Amino acid sequence: MKYLFVLIVLGLNAIDGYDCKIVQFIFGDSLSDVGNNRNLPRSLAQANLPFYGIDFGNGLPNGRFTNGRTVSDIISDKIGLPRPVAFLDPSMNEDVILANGVNYASGGGGILNETGGYFIQKFSLWKQIELFQGTRDVIVAKIGKKEADKFFQQAGYVVSLGSNDFINNYLMPLYSDSWKYTDQTFVDYIMETLESQLRVLHSLGARKLMVFGLGPMGCIPLQRALSLDGKCQNKASSLAVRFNKAATTMLKDLETKIPNASYKFVEAYDLINDVITNPQKYGFDNSDSPCCSFYRIRPALTCIPASTLCKDRSKYVFWDEYHPTDKANELVANILIKRFDFMRDDDGTSDAPSPSPYLAPSPSPDLAPSPDDN
């Protein structure tokens, strides 16, 4: 659940005749995917079936791996920023980029290219950065390099991946990484890779960037269902703690080495762990099983039309075996907004604006991406 998105800068900046908004560029996995994987025809990591999206817009599947909004949706709404559009959204063109930013997040994606290979198609973080470079080239061609540099340097950047590198890589014996590394050397490998990726993003204009930490991965319903006693798997959660500690150190060190960089690490492990451990404290009745499940068959892995839904979705922390519900996302988003003082008048309990699907311009033929990952 390392999926929280916060931006520091608000407002508009005029760029040499272009009234460009400050926008966000989001790099992530299924916790922040808003429709990229639904446009990857061979991907096995999909949220295209009912009942995904049942509490969003028209109630139809929209590419989000939950019943409603992602944390990034909610935070963007509450702090007055546009929701970044999925890179593979048919509406994508230069004007959409300048007005809304781009979300490159892809279900099953990881920091490492090899992560989630059995999903067939997904965007790893390296691939997402490659797509961002293409986005930059398109904007340079439209408004010129000087103006494009300002646009990208004033934007906010969110990097939120890592859980798949453990759950769908290191902790699975079918991946060679599971026997090539120890716990610490694998975390070191991830950190070396992530540092290289952040350096590339900086070279492309990313100056204000937030990296989000991992929650207690061992407590998601899938991990509980795979355990012998139905309890949290401590090894997975301890790896999240290692990741968070290493990322904090790496970001602080990197910020001192790179000019004009503002890098922040946002950790919510304790918050999410408390929600899971004490659900009633936050208004939930259930924090150990999914709202959408295939009767008593566990783990069901995904929500399908033949699944059954819980009676009250607002009382469940988890929507499916991996992902939180809209209500849990809203809780985390509101607490993070309050914690970071982005809305000083907000007590952290008000409702976010009602979600609605994007209505954007027609796609540009110049932005026809290849769906294949590297």
Residues serving a catalytic function are: 30, 320, 323
Q: How many CA atoms lie within 13 A of 130 on its CB side?
A: 12
Q: What is the DSSP track for 290-340?
A: ESEEBTTBS---S--TT-EE-S-GGGEEESSSS-B-HHHHHHHHHHHHHHT
Encode burial over 182-200: b for 16+ CB neighbours within 10 A, e otherwise: eeeebbebbbebbbebbeb
Instruction: Give dist(CA 355, CA 70) in Å, integer.
Output: 10
Residues whose CB falls within 8 Å of the CB of residue 11, separated by 6 or more in sequence, listed in order: 22
Sign, CA dihedral 293-297-301-302, equals negative
341: three-class secondary structure by DSSP: coil
Round to whole Å and give the CA distance between 365 and 363: 6
Instruction: For residues 171 and 182, give the distance between their C-alpha atoms in angstroms, rounded to a whole number.
Output: 11
